[in-house]
């Protein structure tokens, strides 16, 4: 039995959950998301709540029950209040700018780096901070992870991208004799 899969998900007013032909669609004030669900599951929507019900009780259904429950919960949360991820950029001469549907990054390499922004994700850049927002939790976190992987924080001075609230273990470096 899945503890996450058994949970009842509350649907706020103004949000609509539709499950038809194994496609789950969630519409809300901030956007619309849809996801394909494998056969063998049913999603009951009634009285402002939704539950995921497995039709079979085999190993694969038990494994995916909680996963689909989490997906539904994240989709409802995403269309009502968007997900955000903040990256902090440290380092002299490092900068990030948003130009259209691309992020231009100067990270101390011999060339600037451009990262394209997928649909549904908005990126804002201020001095030393890059903020990713969107309805789809996977897309927001994937883009933030992709940008962070270009220049991970190094352990001596902490230069590079780090998540807000992330603690970087620092090393001492050379000692003077």
Q: Which residue has the tokens 């849809």?
A: 34
In this structure, the answer to whether residues 16 and 53 fall within a common structural domain is yes
In this structure, the answer to whether residues 28 and 10 fall within a common structural domain is yes
How far apart (Å, rounded) are the C-alpha atoms in residues 21 and 17? 13
Separation of CA 175 from chain center = 41
In this structure, the answer to whether residues 13 and 59 fall within a common structural domain is yes
In a domain, 168, yes or no: no
In a domain, 173, yes or no: no
Q: How far apart are the first and last CA of the chain?
A: 62
Domain span holding position 9: 3-80
The pLDDT assigned to 5 comes to 86
**DSSP string of the chain, one letter each residue:** --HHHHPPEE--TT-EEEEETTEEEEEETTEEEEEE--TTEEEEEETTEEEEEES--SHHHHHHHHHHHHHHHHHHHHHHS-EEEEEEEESTT-EEEEETTEEEEE-SSSS-EEEEPPTTEEEEEETTEEEEEES-HHHHHHHHHHHHHHSPPPTTT--EEEETT--PPPP------
pLDDT score of 127 more than 80: yes
pLDDT score of 1 more than 70: no
- Give me the number of domains the chain comprises: 2
CB atoms within 10 A of CB 86: 16
How far apart (Å, rounded) are the C-alpha atoms in residues 111 and 105? 9
Average pLDDT over residues 150-166: 92
Domain boundary among 29, 54, 80: 80
Cβ atoms 53, 42 nearer than 8 A: yes
The pLDDT assigned to 177 comes to 65
Q: What pLDDT, in 10s, does the model give residues 131-148?
A: 999 999 999 999 999 999
Q: What pLDDT, in 10s, does the model give residues 50-90?
A: 999 999 989 999 889 999 999 999 999 999 999 999 999 99
């Amino acid at each position: 039995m899945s503890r996450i899969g058994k949970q009842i998900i509350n649907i706020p007013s103004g949000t609509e959950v539709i499950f038809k032909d194994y496609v789950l669609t969630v519409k809300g004030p901030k956007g619309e998301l849809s996801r394909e669900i494998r056969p063998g599951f049913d999603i009951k929507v009634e009285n402002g709540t939704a539950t995921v019900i497995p039709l079979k009780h085999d190993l694969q259904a038990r494994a995916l029950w909680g996963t689909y429950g989490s997906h539904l919960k994240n989709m409802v949360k995403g269309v009502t209040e968007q997900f955000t991820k903040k990256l902090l950029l440290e380092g002299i001469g490092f900068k990030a700018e948003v130009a259209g549907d691309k992020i231009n990054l100067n990270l101390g390499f011999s060339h600037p780096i451009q990262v394209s922004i997928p649909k549904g994700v908005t990126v804002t850049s201020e001095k030393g901070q890059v903020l990713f927002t969107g309805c789809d939790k996977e897309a927001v976190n994937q883009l933030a992870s992709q940008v962070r992987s270009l220049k991970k924080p190094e352990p001596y001075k902490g230069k590079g991208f780090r998540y807000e609230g992330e603690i970087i273990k620092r090393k001492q470096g050379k000692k003077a004799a």
